[in-house]
Amino acid sequence: MNNQSKLAIHGGKPVRDSVLSYGKQWIDEKDIQAVVKILKSDFLTTGPEVAKFEEAIADYVGAKYAVSFSNGTAALHGACYAAGVSIGDEVITTPMTFVASANCILYTGGTPVFADIDPKTYNIDPYKVEQLVTSKTKAIIPVDFTGQPAELDTIMTIAKEHNLIVIEDAAHALGAEYKGKKIGSISDMTMFSFHPVKHLTTGEGGIITTNNEEYYKKLLHFRTHGIIRESSQLKEQHGPWYYEMQFLGYNYRLTDFQAALGTSQLKKLNEFLELRKKYVNLYNDAFKNLPQIITPAESTHSTSSWHLYIIRLNLEKLHASRKEIYEALLKENIGVNVHYIPVYLQPYYQQLGYKKGLSPEAEKLYKEIITLPLFPAMEEKDFKDVIRAVKKVIAYYTK
């Protein structure tokens, strides 16, 4: 590689003049007016718009019930409570996820048990899950990593055989399908996140969908301080004003103006999904002949909702580390990211006694992946800039 090429990478003009983030919300005038309407109404916190939004999400995914929460982590916490996870219980999950998927187990007193991933799909390996089931196992939390559904048939079969509850972390997977069924209608409970980089946003927010009425009622009470108002469930009767706090719940409620934004965004969800798929296809076509890059594998029995687009570097063909490639892309003003650091490598989990080497496939993957920008509001120039920058950096660092 000549000095002029080196200058173009490290000292020359970057591909972009401004930074392109890896993810971003798309808010239009209809969204703004939906929120303004609620701000002018009688209800700001949990009211009729929340119920409307919950019903719309349940209908979209084909579930009987949906309970919204202030964020996705709170929703997972509620699901662990509804599943009865407590001190002494173990819950199996993947290390290749955001920390919330495991933290929710700790919140209720349980112990996270990490099963390694399938190196092809990057999702939790069901056969590793089965090997980790013990008499203490209470639940399984599979994660639909990047929007690609986990192997739900096998996981549900394992759960049924061992009387376990499946809490699906589908923060990445609103709109995804598994064998023709929408994610959100299959597992015992499914969580979706509405953070700004997700498929639709409420600012912050999350939801649990379920077909189980018992879980539904527990989730409703859990998000509202453990307070019961239904007269048939009260231990005493003082009058129509009376309510009882029957267990220690939390204030995890969504607001009406957040719900209104979510309902407005939901109307555009299919368009958002189509754009994500379009950009993924453009990336795949651009990178398919680069031996230095492994593009995401698509399952033959499911449809990803493509929350993230992750490339895996073939480091044997590059004279650079992932860190060097990452930093070079940043210099081109491409806002790359890495998803994720295996949870148990975090200092807090190390203090709990988890050790490196627990999930070799997840640890290897972590060292080789980079997340590229992917969001519906991207323009043609944006994804062309990403492709140019990746090819430029890869060409420079190729052996």
Cβ atoms 338, 372 nearer than 8 A = no
Residue 167 has which token pair?
A: 């809490």
Cβ atoms 66, 58 nearer than 8 A = yes
Read off the pTM. Answer: 0.96
pLDDT of residue 9: 65
Cβ atoms 366, 352 nearer than 8 A = no
Instruction: Tell me how far CA of residue 315 lies from CA of 283, 323, 392, in angstroms.
Output: 20, 11, 16
Residues 339-390 have pLDDT tens digits of 999 999 999 999 999 999 999 999 999 999 999 999 999 999 999 999 999 9
CATH no., domain 3-24+269-397: 3.90.1150.10
* Average pLDDT score over the chain: 96
Return residue ranges of the chain for CATH 3.40.640.10: 29-266
- Which CATH class for the 29-266 domain? alpha beta
Residues 10-59 have pLDDT tens digits of 567 899 999 999 999 999 999 999 999 999 999 999 899 999 999 999 99
Lowest mean pLDDT among 93-97, 125-129, 240-244: 240-244
Cβ atoms 347, 29 nearer than 8 A = no
Residues 45-93 have pLDDT tens digits of 989 999 999 999 999 999 999 999 999 999 999 999 999 999 999 999 9
Give the number of other Cβ atoms within 10 Å of residue 246's Cβ.
13
Roughly how many angstroms between the first and final C-alpha of the chain, as a whole number? 10
Return residue ranges of the chain for CATH 3.90.1150.10: 3-24+269-397
> What secondary structure does DSSP assign to 2-13, as a single string?
-HHHHHHHHTS-
Residues 6 or more apart from 288 whose CB is under 8 A from it?
295
Quote the CA–CA distance of 138 and 314 in Å, as a whole number.
Answer: 38
Residues 278-316 have pLDDT tens digits of 999 999 999 999 999 999 988 888 999 999 999 999 999
Residues 247-270 have pLDDT tens digits of 999 999 999 999 999 999 999 999
Quote the CA–CA distance of 376 and 398 in Å, as a whole number.
Answer: 31
Residues 6 or more apart from 356 whose CB is under 8 A from it?
345, 363
pLDDT of residue 3: 37
Residue 168 has which token pair?
A: 């699906």
Quote the CA–CA distance of 331 and 21 in Å, as a whole number.
Answer: 13
2 pLDDT exceeds 60? no
Q: What burial class does residue 154 get, using C-beta atoms within 10 Å of its C-beta: 0-12 exposed, 13-18 middle, 19+ buried?
A: middle
Residue 103 has which token pair?
A: 């933290």
Identity of the residue numbered 220: L
Quote the CA–CA distance of 184 and 7 in Å, as a whole number.
Answer: 50
